[in-house]
Amino acid sequence: MKAAEIAQLFTALTLIVIAAHLLRELFRWMRQPPVIGEILAGIVLGPTLLGWLIPGFGDRLIPGPGITPDVLAALSQLGLILLMFLSGREVARGRLEGQRRAVAVVAVAGLVIPVAAGIGLGGLLDHDGLSGPRGSAVTFALVLGIAVGVASIPVISRIMLDLGILDTRFARMVLAVAVLEDVVLYAVLAVILGLAQAGTKDAYGLLSELGDGPAAVTATAYVLVNVLYFGVFLALGGWLFRVLAASRVNVLERRDPTAFRVTFLLLMVLGATVIGVDPIFGALLAGISVARGGSGDDAREGPAWDAIQRVATSLFIPIYFVSVGLKLDLVRHFDVWFFVWFLAFACVVKGGSVWLGARLSGHSRSAATDLAAALNARGGPGIVLASVTYAAGVITEDLYTVLVMLSIVTSQAAGAWLEHRFGRPAEAEPAESVTGRSTR
């Protein structure tokens, strides 16, 4: 690597990291989801703002092809992997004590109705300008179904942590419902990505063996592989990690638990890739497995988790979210009217279905409204949906932009509502009433 290339790479990295942290802290100060600030940093540095005001700025920041875009793409992918790993820990935190029936009712209503509505909408729309080169009517409808139905565990949990209500029944209810919804929707997304790659030059592992077969056989086999992969590791992943961690030959766990968890993550990502499952789902299940298989207080917290999270959130994850913003072109590839009516559709359907499920399970109107507002935040999972389907060629840049903006706006709306409801100590008590016994 030449000195000029090194200088160019570190100039881009420095600008990206500084902008991400400055805007993240600004949004944290404003009590908004910090992830939105990181995406906004990419919007500022990308074609929407500086690229529009200063023609050629983007080419000077990240000239391509070359070392800089390749390294940034790799770092962004690592950021996504670490984000999914940490999201797996959040999934494992879902607790259902005393609320199993209510969680089940809200989750089913808040998942089945929105996904069905999104798929139905996808079947009615002309997908020619919204599906990418590897997309189809089926994958387009499934993407819209996930976009309407998904909820953001990291964003919701961070908002409730900042408000001091993370240990309330309300928070446990919200996170438990979001966990059930997101596990199902991530599994569906895994199938979409696999089918998009089957038979292409990007296929690897199992997919490369299935690619030349009949389309129906390939699709069926891939669905089965993904369902089995998720099922096996959701059921046995914690046990596998526990056995490996307790092994006498595992010197790494005893000397450096952080290194062992990172190694386990890398092996899970590699294993998923080899069998043809998208690596982000290997990372997600690795996080779930480590959190479930750990012992005592270190299962979901502790020095090892702290070390991984510090590195991830200081460098890799900000680079990923900035890269999401860099790809947004709100000047040339943003259909405002489509976004407005799709935003309204998604919020009404998702919020209404959660509200209905909450009322059916015995919650008061105000508690049901709080649940609907919280679970309407799409945040990180919605952004992941947009970025990975766009990268896989399933959707176009126009739909990518709409899905990212949907995630940003719904996350801000959820944060504003919860801040209004629980931001003052006197208002925090109703959070405990989300058990069906509220008098309000």
The predicted pLDDT at position 159 comes to 77
- Gyration radius (Cα) of the chain, Å: 21
Asked if the structure places residue 438 within a domain, the reply is no
Asked if the structure places residue 304 within a domain, the reply is yes
Domain tally for the chain? 1
Asked if the structure places residue 439 within a domain, the reply is no
Total residues found in the chain within this entry: 440
State pTM to two decimals.
0.83
Asked if the structure places residue 276 within a domain, the reply is yes
Contact (CB, 8 A) for 397 and 390: yes
44 C-beta neighbours (distance < 10 Å), count: 16
- Matching residue, tokens 């690229």: 51
Asked if the structure places residue 105 within a domain, the reply is yes
Asked if the structure places residue 337 within a domain, the reply is yes
Q: Is 376 helix (H, G, I), strand (E, B) or coil?
A: coil
Cα–Cα dist 226/284, whole Å: 13
Alpha helices in 295-391 (DSSP H): 303-311, 317-326, 336-360, 365-374, 379-391
Asked if the structure places residue 349 within a domain, the reply is yes
Q: Is 395 helix (H, G, I), strand (E, B) or coil?
A: strand
Q: Is 127 helix (H, G, I), strand (E, B) or coil?
A: coil
- Residue from 165, 162, 226 nearest 33 by CA: 162
Per-residue pLDDT of the chain (440 residues), as tens digits, is 688 788 888 989 999 999 999 999 998 888 788 888 999 999 999 888 888 788 777 777 777 677 888 899 999 999 999 988 988 887 776 655 557 788 889 999 999 999 999 999 999 998 888 998 888 888 899 999 999 999 887 778 777 777 777 778 888 888 888 888 888 888 888 878 877 766 555 555 655 665 555 556 666 677 778 778 888 998 999 999 999 998 888 888 888 999 999 999 999 999 988 887 888 889 989 999 999 887 665 566 788 899 999 999 999 999 999 998 898 888 888 899 999 999 999 999 999 999 999 999 888 999 999 999 999 998 888 998 999 999 889 999 999 999 999 999 998 898 889 888 887 544 444 444 443 444 33
The predicted pLDDT at position 341 comes to 95
Its domain, for residue 410, covers 3-433
Cα–Cα dist 354/301, whole Å: 30
Residue 403 to residues 87, 153, 258, 372, Cα–Cα distance (Å): 20, 17, 35, 19
- Per DSSP, what are the bridge partners of residue 131? 395
Domain of 327, CATH number, reads: 1.20.1530.20
The predicted pLDDT at position 439 comes to 34
Asked if the structure places residue 440 within a domain, the reply is no
Contacts of 55 (CB under 8 A, 6+ apart): none
